[in-house]
Amino acid sequence: MNIREIEKIIDSLHEHHPAFSGLKEQVIYEVLTVFEDICSLNVMGSMLNPCLLQKNTNYLDALNQALFWIENSNLSLESLPINRDISEEKYKNCASLLLDYAYPYSVICSGYISFSRNRLIAKVDNNTITFDFPDDYNCSAWNDIIREASQSTLDDMINAINPFKISNAYATLQKSIRIEKGDITYNISEEIFNLFLEIAEMHWEATKTLPVSWKFDNFTLDEYKKAWISIAAICYIHFFSDLKIQDPQIRIRNSIITMPLSQIIEYVIKISGLEKQTVEKIIKYITFEPRKKNIDIMYQPIIVLNDDTALIAPMLFINSRPERNLLAVVCTKKDSEHSKEVNKLEELMVQELESVIPHLNTLRIVKHKNLGGRLPDIDFAILDTTTNSALMCELKWFIAADSTKEVYAREDDITHGCEQSDMVMAYAMSDRKRFIKQVFNYDDGANVDLFCCVVARHNIRTQHPYIPVIDLSKLKKLFMTQPINKVFHTIREHKYEDSLPDDASITYQSVKYGDFTFKIPAICFGTMPL
């Protein structure tokens, strides 16, 4: 069999899984509940080993894939009240669907996407499929993997739920937790709620990237923040309340928040002080749309059933980057205000770069320079007259990639930026003196050493053989710690890349699925594969 024939086989392996039985909405509830419980158990284990928290990212990928399968299944659409008591058999089936099917399939999909994009080649040896880099790949591929790994939200997650920071809130909450007829109840005093509102706001602040002045067609970023923090606070309260329950059946029964959508809206209005119409629009934005292309349960973490019952897995809020997730949703909609705001973002990057460059008479800085004709503008450029050297920067602002598909979408943006830099450099090299005069109004430009790069707001992979690509935070750090000319050479020579740690080795992530074993390029740190 060839690689595409195998793809057809694995695409249908899940269809006869025993989890796909009963009513669609009931199965959605069961899978969401088991996901939350698995994450909770993982959080408890992470108290001894914080690295385990990274597994929750894997579970999120699994949940998203499982929900996609459920949505596209032939399960009955009949709507009946949800049965919150999940049997041992149902639990095992859902756990199997998530861990034995959805997660490995999502990993394999990443390999197939890279193969389809000609980033990886595939070799089939009986039932073993090995994805690998082509013989002529450039060494930046491993730098890409390291950079992407460095964007993990693990640190933010640890920071947000650090037991030392929430100890006061948790200790106060514990006094209010009780069980009534199998349900967790808690008295949320103003003191308790304010403590968890503070934790939710800390979470927001740890992951924010956008200017506070941002607005969209239906609400402002500040309004969205208030609504999100209100829901996140109750998610933290519910999560830690459930975490305390020792009886596994009661813990599982109460894993997720289940309540009428109208109550959630009323609650957000009360806590945030926002208008009802605004809250309804925000809730609609973050209500899961499974049939929408390129959407993810992380982006829209509220599931609403046909009877308007809302299901919320607290971990979807606790493990999220709210601004980034909002932008992912907005990008799927026609939002005129968002389009206007995006146009301002590269100017903010310019301001950030300017703020870290020394104010020296020997430096000339140019912003948004139009070269005329069909040539692209120069977003940001620096001329160092002391060393007779100049750096041209093409700036690219986009939201952080959260999946292989998104990585390649952002890579297309970077590739375009590299092509623009190529055009500028070709024009500059054809007549350096003219170019330096035109851009910097500097007469002695015949022998200026020319440098270029693409600057991205977030780390991103690139396979361009000539144009360096560096993320904004790393470039700012270089400007703050090195002389200007040394920065230029550091960029040209790619010395800004993170080196492979001593305990790291290049290997493969082996994933078994059905009768097949898939091997995907990976880096192993010690005994932990990346």
User: pLDDT of 295-326, one tens digit each?
Assistant: 889 999 999 999 999 999 999 998 888 998 89
409-450 confidence digits (pLDDT tens):
677 788 888 999 999 999 999 999 999 999 999 998 899 999
**Across 81-109, average pLDDT:** 95
* Confidence (pLDDT) at 508: 87
Burial of 301 (0-12, 13-18, 19+ CB in 10 A): buried
What is d(CA 528, CA 530) in angstroms, rounded to the nearest whole number?
Answer: 6
Percent of the chain with pLDDT over 90: 55
What is d(CA 151, CA 339) in angstroms, rounded to the nearest whole number?
Answer: 25
Is there a contact between 399 and 327 (Cβ–Cβ < 8 Å)?
yes
Is there a contact between 469 and 453 (Cβ–Cβ < 8 Å)?
yes
**Across 501-517, average pLDDT:** 85
Q: Is 180's pLDDT higher than 90?
A: no
- The boundaries of every CATH 3.40.91 domain in the chain are 337-492
* Confidence (pLDDT) at 131: 94
Is there a contact between 256 and 311 (Cβ–Cβ < 8 Å)?
yes
Is there a contact between 130 and 516 (Cβ–Cβ < 8 Å)?
no
The count of other CB atoms within 10 Å of the CB of residue 228 is 25
Is there a contact between 124 and 1 (Cβ–Cβ < 8 Å)?
yes
Give the β-pairing of 183-186 and 128-132. Answer: unpaired
* Confidence (pLDDT) at 530: 47
Residue among 30, 32, 26, 33 nearest 78 (CA): 26
If one looks up domain 337-492 in CATH, what number appears? 3.40.91
* Confidence (pLDDT) at 173: 79
Q: DSSP character for 102?
A: I
Burial of 28 (0-12, 13-18, 19+ CB in 10 A): buried
**Which pLDDT band, with edges at 50, 70 and 90, does 154 fall under?**
very low
* Confidence (pLDDT) at 378: 95
Residue among 316, 237, 224, 226 nearest 271 (CA): 226
212-228 confidence digits (pLDDT tens):
888 888 999 999 999 99
Three-class secondary structure of residue 390 per DSSP: strand
Tokens standing for residue 241: 């309340």
Burial of 246 (0-12, 13-18, 19+ CB in 10 A): exposed
Tokens standing for residue 154: 């693990």
- From 378-387, 397-406, 438-447, 468-477, the region with the lowest mean pLDDT: 397-406
Is there a contact between 436 and 383 (Cβ–Cβ < 8 Å)?
yes
* Confidence (pLDDT) at 146: 54
* Confidence (pLDDT) at 463: 60
Question: To 10 degrees, the CA torsion angle through 198, 204, 206, 210?
Answer: -140
* Confidence (pLDDT) at 151: 46
Q: Is the pTM of this model over 0.85?
A: no
Is there a contact between 20 and 75 (Cβ–Cβ < 8 Å)?
yes
**Across 116-122, average pLDDT:** 87
CA distances from 419 to 147, 448, 453 (A): 22, 22, 11
What is d(CA 421, CA 427) in angstroms, rounded to the nearest whole number?
Answer: 10
The residue length of the chain stands at: 530
- From 126-135, 188-197, 421-430, the region with the lowest mean pLDDT: 188-197
**Which pLDDT band, with edges at 50, 70 and 90, does 45 fall under?**
low
- From 328-337, 376-385, 402-411, the region with the lowest mean pLDDT: 402-411
Q: Is 47's pLDDT higher than 80?
A: no
Three-class secondary structure of residue 506 per DSSP: strand
